[in-house]
Each structure stands twice: as structure tokens, then as C-alpha cells.
Homo-oligomer: A and B are copies of this chain.
Amino acid sequence: MTTQSEFKKVVLAYSGGLDTSVILKWLEDTYGCEVVTFTADLGQGDELEPARIKAQKMGVKQIFIEDLREEFIRDYVFPMFRANAVYEGEYLLGTSIARPLIAKRLVDIANQTGADAIAHGATGKGNDQVRFELGAYALKPGIKVIAPWREWDLLSREKLMAYAKTHDIPVDFAAAGKKSPYSMDANLLHISYEGGNLEDPWWTPEESMWRWSVSAEAAPEQGEEFVLTFVKGDPVAINGEALSPATLWEKLNKLGGAHGVGRLDLVENRYVGMKSRGCYETPGGTIVLKARRALESITLDRGVAHLKDELMPRYAEMIYNGYWWSPERVMLQAAIDASQAYVNGDVRLRLYKGNVQVLGRRSDDTLFDPSIATFEDDAGAYDQRDAAGFIKLNALRMRIAAQAGRHF
């Protein structure tokens, strides 16, 4: 599809790990191009400096290292949570929502450095290649994308190690030794596990797999209560303390993780067509989703709430499939954002051994009107006889049908 000479400079999404280090070298060798590295802190918990040092050692001249945590939560996670987005009833889209930001930065850096291609370390079987590439193409239609895993024959760990050795790529053998048997991905929103024994959906993962949370069993006997405050649908404060998006989310992750909150073990349908087992820890996201729904329950109009619920699966599918940078996502986001003006207020929560309990919700913008809903005398706020007419007219079409002899 492309000839080697096409590429003069390639921006690589570089983690500093073995795979992307091999890719770095392989790109230079295969395409004779200069490689620019881009390493981002999305809250995955790794040090970034080692990546810089490693890139320098490998002779990279342009090294981009960026802390994108606030941008990630504020401009990607927050908008997505406004939709209460959940994929296939369970998955909180932790990996999916990080990819568009990385795609955007890769393209930005390509523009800035005059690179003619980008490269990533995602495999040809997964969703991430789609998310990276759809984003890149949407943002810079003429960009070239190199996905070494779809091209090369270094298809086993052993071959990678051999390549590293041959090409003098620094390998952290200590790290390689204690490597998890799972393929993992992490950012401020979640950590995920795939592969290995998880490929048997009847198998239960061992406790040691999980890294961010204790088990419900191991969680403290004493639960923890706090108040989460929202403005226009986004969480802004814990127990009254205003926090920046990333700081708040990090704190919720710690709180949730300490109480065994946010573990998921599921089988999902990948966009590329196969089913895949994934385990996820999303402590903060689990808390925010539960709290947001509680606050929306008193501040959203019913018509809006139901419309949101009906649109949500479609929206979640867009994010999952990699269409963040698409006009239809932007179109749906306009509707979702338009629904959030009054989603302001507090939710009182309790975390206890894997549970997120809503203890109460309140808002200056509440639509909960106890004077109408009350079982007590409502002093005329609601005329019960109206209900008879309401029912009669709603029943009319079915009465006519029944009269015509139809049976349901």
C-alpha cells in the first residue's frame, strides 16, 4: 500500500516498554525513517522519565512527553459520563475513551514536526488499532498509519526478545521476568486485563491479577461515607472540597479501590468481530456513574431522561468502536450536553465491600416535589380525578382494537 521511501518521519506512540522499543527500531530499519516518540501520562501510573532516557539511548531526537491527565478527564471522560455511557450493559469504556486523545496528540505532533506518518503498537485483532486510526484519519485525512503488528512477523514474545537482543535494544529483564500473564492497559479511568487464562470464560481469575482494588472480602469492615458534588453533570468536589478533574478522579479511584469497588469481569463484542474476555477495575468511574444517575433522577425531566437512556447504547457503541472523532458523536454530544444544565447538586454515598450505596441526593434544581408525590393529603396540588381521563384516553386505541376483536 505504501512504499518505504514515502515515510521520512514517523510519530510513534511510545510507552518505553519492550514492544514499542522494538517497534521504534523496526520502523527505522524497515522504513529508513526518523522516529519521533510521544509518551503521555494518562494516569497509567508509570514513570515517564525512563521512557525519555530509553528514547534518548535509542537516538531519538524529538521526544514528546506530556502530562495529559487533566485534559483526559475534563475533555473526554467527563463528556462521556454525561451520557451515562456503558457498553453492552457493563463496560465503562476505560480503554476506548483514552484512544481519541492519543490519536489527537499523535496528529498534532505530526503536524508540528512535519512527520508524514504515525505508528502505534496495537495488534491487528483488537479495537485499539481502529480507535487510533479512525481518529487519526478523521483529524488528518492524508496521514499514513503504520501498525507493525499487522505487518511484521515478530509474532511471539521470543521473537521480540531476539529482535531486541540483535538490535541492541535495552530490555529491563527484571521487569520482563515479573511480567503479568495478562495483557494490561491502564489510565486514570481504569486498568484492564485480557488474554492468558481469561480466554476461558468459565475460568475465574486469581485474586492476584487485580492491581487497583482489594477484593470485597479483603475490604475493611468499616465502610466510608462521603458527599460528591456535581455541576452541570460533572463531579467537582468531594465532601465540599473542590478538586480539579484529574485530582478528583484519582481520589475516587483510591477510595473505591480501598473498598473493593469497581471490578468487572465480562465478555464483550469487539468491533473487529470476535468476542473477547476482559477484566476491568474502574473504581472512580463506578462511583461517578452511580452518583450521576442518582442526581439525574431528581434533576432531569422524564422526557429527557428517557431519551438519554434510549440514545446511550448508540453513543457507547460509537465510543467503543472508535468514532469519538466523528460528526455523529459530536451531534449526539450536543443533545447530551444540552440535557445537563440542571444536573447540579450533591449525592451522599457509602462504599462498603464492593458496594456503592446511594444514601441521599439533593439539589437546588430538584424536580422532586414532595407536595405532589406525597401519600398524605396534598392540599389540592394534584387532582386525582385527572387520572381517570388520562387513563381513558391512553386506553382508547386499545379499547377500539379490542372492540374490533383483536387479542394481544
Name A's B-contacting residues (CB within 8 A): 1, 84, 88-90, 123-125, 129-130, 133-134, 137-142, 147, 149-151, 155-156, 183, 194-196, 199-204, 216-217, 223, 265-270, 272-277, 293-294, 297-298, 301-307, 309-310, 313-314, 317, 323, 325-332, 334-335, 337-339, 342, 348, 352-355, 357-362, 365-370, 372-375, 377, 382-404, 406, 408
Contacts of A277 in B (CB 8 A): 368, 373
Q: Which of B155, B310, B317 contacts A313 (CB 8 A)?
A: B310
Cα separation A402 to B134 with both chains bound (whole Å): 12
Q: Name the residue among A150, A352, A397 with the largest chain B CB count within 10 angstroms.
A: A397
**Are B267 and A141 in touch, CB under 8 angstroms?**
no
The interface residues of chain B lying within 8 Å CB-to-CB of A140 are 402
CB of A123 within 8 A of CB of B384, answer yes
CA A277 to CA B375, docked complex, whole Å: 11
A26 to B156 Cα, complex, angstroms: 39
A275 touches B367 (CB 8 A): yes
Please state if A309 and B305 are interface contacts (CB–CB under 8 Å): no
Please measure, in the bound complex, the distance between the C-alpha atom of A21 and the C-alpha atom of B302, giving whole angstroms. Answer: 36
A267 touches B385 (CB 8 A): no
Q: Residue A201 contacts which of B123, B199, B298, B354 (CB distance < 8 angstroms)?
A: B298
Residues of B contacting A401 in the complex (Cβ-Cβ under 8 angstroms): 138, 301, 327, 367
Neighbouring B residues of A183 by C-beta, 8 Å: 375
Provide a sorted-by-A list of 17 A–B residue pairs whose CB atoms are within 8 angstroms: A1-B388, A89-B293, A130-B387, A137-B399, A199-B375, A203-B360, A216-B357, A267-B294, A267-B298, A301-B398, A304-B331, A310-B314, A325-B398, A327-B398, A353-B353, A372-B396, A390-B392
What copy number does this chain have within its complex? 4
B123-A216 in contact (CB<8A)? no
CB neighbours (8 Å) of A402 from chain B are 137-141
Contact, CB under 8 Å: A398 / B129? no
Let me know if B204 and A359 touch, CB within 8 A. Answer: yes
Residues of B within 8 A of A399 (CB): 137-138, 141
Flag if B272 contacts A362 (CB, 8 Å): no
Q: Is the CB of A302 within 8 A of B269?
A: yes
| Alpha-carbon separation in the docked complex, A200 to B282 (Å) | 31
Nearest to A365 among chain B residues (CB) is B404
Query: For the complex, what is the distance from the CA of A216 to the CA of B351, rounded to whole Å?
Result: 11
Verify A374–B195 contact, CB threshold 8 A: yes
Q: A154–B365 Cα gap in the complex (Å)?
A: 34
| Least CB distance, A374 to chain B, in whole angstroms | 6
A-B pairs, 4 with minimum CB distance: A389-B389, A124-B384, A273-B396, A303-B328
B373 contacts A305, C-beta separation under 8 Å: no
